[in-house]
Amino acid sequence: MRISDLLGPRSSGGFRPETIAYEGPIGGTRRGLSQAETAQAVGALREQCEATRPARPLRIGVLSNHQLETYLTVLASVAGGHAFVPLNPKFPTHRLEQIVELAALDLVVHDATTAEAAPAIAGATPLLDATRVTTEALAVSPSTAADDPFAVVGALEVEADRLAYMMFTSGSTGTPKGVPVTYGSLTAYVTSICALIDFPTDARHTQFFDLSFDLSIHDIFVSFHADGVLVAPTRVDLMMPGAYVRRERIDVWFSVPLLGAQLARATRADDVTGLRVVQFCGEALPMETVDGCRAWLRPDGEIWNLYGPTEATIAFTAHLVGADEPVVGAASIGRPFGDNLVALLADDGSTSDADALGSEGELLLGGPQVFAGYSTPAPSPFVEHRGQQYYRSGDLVRVEPSGLYYRGRVDSQVKYRGYRIELGEIESAMRSTFGLRSVAVVMRGEGAEAELRAYHLAAEADGDLDLTRLGATLPSYMVPVTSTALETMPTNANGKIDRRALP
């Protein structure tokens, strides 16, 4: 396959040098970056990465988040047919050190905001300062239309099974699980979602997600493939999304439902032309949020609900929420798009096609977007259906006329603030940090009211637990709000902790 299949018109003859490709903070000010400037900076970063570590292909750690350098490094990696691995600066140093080792990185790229922390995280892995490279590249007059820098990139041939990026998700043993996604899977997703949803040329796209959250990959590559503009928000914008939409003239919105609820509560100003496309993913979408966001749409605007785990490349099913649907419960997660396939796994281990109305079971995912397996040791997540390998999502669904409906989880994973979390990893960290033997973590409440709560035996801990200590090993969103000491842990007939019986 060619890189142009992934990157779209800019790399296949549609290069428009003066058109804006990115808007956000650049060199201490907020401004736009043209396609020509983007191409020049991407080319410079690619050359420096390949010169620093002349291996083929490279594995590049991206120690950057919500910066211009974040997006340019991702594009530079793909422009060379390499693989990138997000290293979220918000994560504890120990966790990032684990990822650097588990991913076998050839290079760690950082920006000015992460320069100080980079040496400790990278260890013996070579470092590259993306801010320096980008600044030097943008100081030179960019290429002209006659000198299309993306043409060379677009002609680059890569194998469909070559690694494009690797995400690390929560692991029940305490070690992050590596999820490798290939160029074939990424291209299948980007081309399929762009065929499904009409993203207008020059549309201005949001970018709310951290790079370590794979929905950010949608923002970067969909905006690029659809010839749009990626508009980076500020921290304040996350608290005032209505003002962000108005100030930046946003056309295409993509977020978790919780941020959508904030948009729904904001008042639309008279000078806002309206959103063309609104997309949600990451957790169950309340119909009340959909109803509230309709005020922000243009008359012909659309609201889509997407669903998919990291292992199946960003999103796997989609549902265009109709204006006449009841404003109760959660929205349908829809049906598979592109060449994606779904099936159901019953309690007795049998599989069936997900087409009988009213049928329920664990959702199985098959097709070109599904990964081949974890890069770190883990039980096989696959089952066979009709002679093909399907990924066990762990999500219970019911088949209804408007598509699939999410019914809950079959294991100890939960969706919290848009993140998929193994509760066992939090419990493992608590055992290690506080010397506990009996501990249980559960999620209480739904939506904005959801909280992670822990329970432990009073006899195993001296006084209250200082849960902030968990921040040394866990991301902040995985730290429980409380840990309650119990005289005894409730158990079931098998002697296991009965989570349903916890207070």
Position 13: which residue type? G
pLDDT score at 438: 83
Across the range 296-320, mean pLDDT stands at 97
Domain boundary among the residues 350, 383, 411 is at 411
Rounded distance between C-alpha atoms, residue 499 and residue 438, angstroms: 12
The average pLDDT across 13-42 equals: 89
3-state secondary structure of 228: coil
Same structural domain for residues 377 and 421? no
Q: Buried (b) or exposed (e) across 232-241, using 16+ Cβ within 10 A? A: bbeeebeebb
Contact status, residue 61 vs residue 125, Cβ threshold 8 Å: yes
In a domain, 26, yes or no: yes
C-alpha–C-alpha distance, residues 321 and 302, integer Å: 8
Average pLDDT score over the chain: 92
Kindly state whether residue 9 falls inside one of the protein's structural domains: yes
What per-residue confidence (pLDDT) applies to 143? 61
**144-154 exposure pattern, b = at least 16 Cβ within 10 A, e = fewer:** eeeebbbeebb
Q: Tell me the three state secondary structure of residue 120.
A: helix
Among the listed residues 297, 217, 286, the one whose alpha carbon sits nearest the alpha carbon of residue 253: 297
Query: Rounded CA gap, 466 and 434, in Å?
Result: 9
Same domain, 155 and 18: yes
Domain that holds residue 459: 417-501
- Highest mean pLDDT among 20-29, 355-364, 407-416 belongs to 355-364
What pLDDT does 436 receive? 86
State the total domains in the chain: 3
The pLDDT tens digits for 45-54 are 999 999 998 8
Q: How confident is the model at residue 89 (pLDDT cuts 50, 70, 90)?
A: very high
Contact yes or no for 76/28 (Cβ under 8 A)? no
pTM for this prediction: 0.89
pLDDT, average across residues 361-372: 97
Query: Which of 411, 444, 474 lies at the terminal end of a domain, its last residue?
Result: 411
- CATH number for position 180: 3.40.50.12780
CATH assignment at residue 497:
3.30.300.30
Domain end marker among 411, 439, 469:
411
Range with the poorest average pLDDT among 53-57, 76-80, 160-164, 345-349: 53-57
Q: Residue 103: its pLDDT value, please?
A: 97
pLDDT at residue 424 above 90?
A: no
pLDDT digits (tens, 9 = 90+) for 200-241: 999 999 999 999 999 999 999 999 999 999 999 988 898 899
Q: What is the mean pLDDT of residues 342-362?
A: 95
Minimum mean pLDDT range among 111-125, 359-373, 416-430: 416-430
> Could you give the angle at which helices 35-52 and 68-79 cross, rounded to 10 degrees?
70
In a domain, 224, yes or no: no
Spacing of C-alpha 81 from chain mean position = 21
| Residue 435 pLDDT grade (very low, low, confident, very high; cuts 50, 70, 90) | confident
Host H or E run for residue 121: helix 118-122
pLDDT of 152 over the 80 cut: no
Quick check: is 215 in a domain?
Answer: no
Rg for the chain, CA atoms, rounded: 23
Q: Judge if 282 and 298 occupy the same domain.
A: yes
Question: Cα separation of 279 and 31, whole Å?
Answer: 26
My answer on whether 47 and 190 are in the same domain is yes
Q: Is the model's pLDDT at 486 over the cut of 70? A: yes
Residue with tokens 């592109």: 338
Note the pLDDT of residue 413: 79
Are both 147 and 59 inside the same structural domain?
A: yes
Q: Residue 223 domain-assigned? A: no
pLDDT tens readout for residues 238-297: 889 999 999 999 999 999 998 999 999 999 988 889 999 999 999 889 998 999 999 999
pLDDT of residue 169: 87
Residue 193 lies in a domain: yes
- Tens of pLDDT, residues 465-482: 999 999 998 999 999 999
Tokens read off for 277? 């496309």
pLDDT of 384 reads: 97
Kindly tell me if the per-residue pLDDT of 150 is higher than 90: no
Q: Are residues 256 and 384 in the same domain?
A: yes
Residue 147 and residue 157 in contact, taking contact as beta carbons nearer than 8 Å: no
Question: Both 339 and 444 in a single domain?
Answer: no
Residues 362 and 390 in one domain: yes
What integer pLDDT is reported at residue 196 of this predicted model? 98
> Which DSSP letter does residue 499 get?
G
Task: Clarify whether residues 336 and 464 are in a common domain.
Answer: no
Q: What pLDDT score does 144 carry? A: 58
Cis, peptide link before residue 57, omega less than 30° from 0 = yes
Q: Between these two residues, 321 and 457, which has the higher pLDDT value?
A: 321
Does residue 226 lie within any of the structural domains? no
Residues 254 and 171 in one domain: no
Statement to judge: residues 407 and 423 lie in one domain: no
417 vs 238: CA distance, rounded Å? 14
Question: 363 and 315 share a domain?
Answer: yes
In a domain, 182, yes or no: yes
What is the secondary structure of 43-110 as a DSSP string? HHHHHHHHHHS--SS-EEEEE--SSHHHHHHHHHHHHTT-EEEE--TTS-HHHHHHHHHHTT-SEEEE
